[in-house]
Amino acid sequence: MKQETELIRTQIERSQNNENSSPLYLNSSYAFADSEDMRAQFAEEKEGHVYSRYANPNVAELIEKMSKLEGAENGWATATGMAAVFTLFGALLKSGDEIISSRSVFGSTHKLFTEILPKWNIHTSYVNSNDYEAYDSAITERTKIIYIESPSNPALDIIDIERVSVIARNKGLLLVIDNCFATPLLQQPLKLGADVSIHSATKYIDGQGRTMGGLILSSNEIIKQVRAFARHTGPAMSPFNAWVLSKSLETLDVRMERHCSNALEIADRLEGHNAIEWVRYPFLRSHPDYEIAQRQMTKGGGIVSFELKAGLEAGKKFLDKLQLFTLTANLGDVRSIATHPASTTHSKLTLKERKEVGIGDGLVRLSIGLEHVDDLWEDISNALS
């Protein structure tokens, strides 16, 4: 079936009540038929739900749906996107291993690389997002994982996934990608050679600002290792969140269509405005990696970034003048959102570090929602004036 159909029709078997849409299994544990059934399930010789730290029907439905969408053999769901990132590293790495990462990553992932994983002697070296020779030359005999984000946050760098996957495969490394900004509908990294695709389901997958969640999508072999780690460390997604997220997926296709068409229209209009230094959007011809974006994504996504000519104070003033856009840390919501990374999420970085990841003082990141594009533009152009 096509993705649009899988989003709606992938669901667990109906119960004796014959519900049309999947019911919520808000259960912590599941009964066994007899002592032999119990022994076999504990020994993992037989599939069953046992205990919701391991598995739950609603979580299983979400994993099955997301795996189909990404072309993954299997998956694992976690309480948040960061739990997915941490669980993956916890499952696959040991003391002494190294990670190579594209420089522009989500703030908490950066903290993980620089402050948390080093406690277990796991170190990360950064390379500039699209310096492909740098990935190759950063590899040492201790490197296990190449980690990338594309499109990246907030500068919207595009990385050629296929090209990095060849570098990884030649050296026997795993390529892991944070696919949060694209969703499986716009980009399917496993089909381009990546080994693991990670999502913060909190963003577009929920899309309506209600629940948090994370997903790891990969091969049976890698998910087996993830499961072995997660069963005993407990980062599980709650059944309720899985139920909400699975229902959210039913509308992902129609939501992404509007997010993307609104965002492209806003990016286009911003590009002609005289208060603006540059606009960044993957499907604008002016994007330095427009060709790669066209090749590996089906649409440009819902995020637009731009740099105001007048810098830091102008960036803050712009946000204060917006009336419709919400100032909040989230993204991928039906409501449009504006943030100013230099004074908030990335304020701990020095000016030089910010420059390295493409965050100028006047950079504004817009997460374009589903409101009418003319209302959004009126708000933006008033604030710019």
**Candidate residues 58, 153, 188, 197; the one interacting with ligand PLP per rule CB under 6 A:** 153
Stretch that binds ligand PLP, among 95-103, 163-171, 175-183, 341-349 (CB under 6 A): 175-183
Q: How many CB atoms lie within 10 A of CB 264?
A: 21
Q: Per rule CB under 6 A, is residue 259 in the interface with ligand PLP?
A: no
CB of 213 to ligand PLP, least distance (A): 7
User: For the sheet containing 74-78, what is the strand order?
Assistant: 74-78, 214-218, 196-200, 174-178, 143-149, 98-102, 123-127
Q: Which is nearer to ligand PLP, 215 or 383 (CB)?
A: 215
> Closest CB to ligand PLP among 112 and 383?
112
Q: Closest CB to ligand PLP among 11 and 80?
A: 80
Does 207 engage in binding with ligand PLP (CB under 6 A)?
A: no
Q: Look at the block and give the residue holding tokens 């102008």.
A: 314
Nearer to ligand PLP, 83 or 173 (CB): 83
- In the bound state, the residue with its beta carbon closest to ligand PLP is 81
User: For residue 211, what are the contacts with CB-CB under 8 A and spacing of at least 6?
Assistant: 201, 202, 240, 241, 244, 245
203 interacts with ligand PLP by CB under 6 A: yes
Instruction: Name the nearest CA neighbour of 205 among 237, 176, 247.
Output: 247
Task: Report how many residues bind ligand PLP under the rule CB under 6 A.
Answer: 14
* Residue 180 in the binding site for ligand PLP (CB under 6 A): yes
The answer to whether the beta carbons of residues 292 and 286 sit under 8 Å apart is: no
**Which helix (H) or strand (E) segment is 20 a member of?**
none
Cα gap 76→55, rounded to integer Å: 9
Dist CA 102 CA 99 (whole Å): 10
Interface characters, 91-130, with ligand PLP (x: CB under 6 A)? ---------------x------------------------
216 makes contact with ligand PLP (CB under 6 A): no
Rule CB under 6 A: is residue 345 a binding residue for ligand PLP?
no
Does the protein bind ligand PLP through residue 11 (CB under 6 A)?
no
- Identity of the residue numbered 181: F
Structure tokens at 96: 């002494």
Neighbours of 136 (CB within 10 A): 17
Residue spans of beta strands (DSSP E) within the chain: 74-78, 98-102, 123-127, 143-149, 174-178, 196-200, 214-218, 276-280, 303-308, 326-327, 337-339, 363-367
Q: With respect to ligand PLP, which residue has the nearer C-beta, 41 or 367?
A: 367
Nearer Cβ to ligand PLP (204/383) = 204
Binding mask 306-325 for ligand PLP (x = CB under 6 A): --------------------
Contact between 200 and ligand PLP (CB under 6 A)? Answer: yes
Q: Would you tell me how many other CB atoms lie within 10 Å of the CB of residue 256?
A: 22
Instruction: Compute the least distance from the CB of residue 365 to ligand PLP, in Å.
Output: 11
212 binds ligand PLP (CB under 6 A): yes
**Binds ligand PLP by CB under 6 A, chosen from 75, 81, 90, 207:** 81
By the criterion CB under 6 A, which residues form the site for ligand PLP?
A: 80-82, 106, 149, 153, 178, 180-181, 200, 202-203, 212, 214
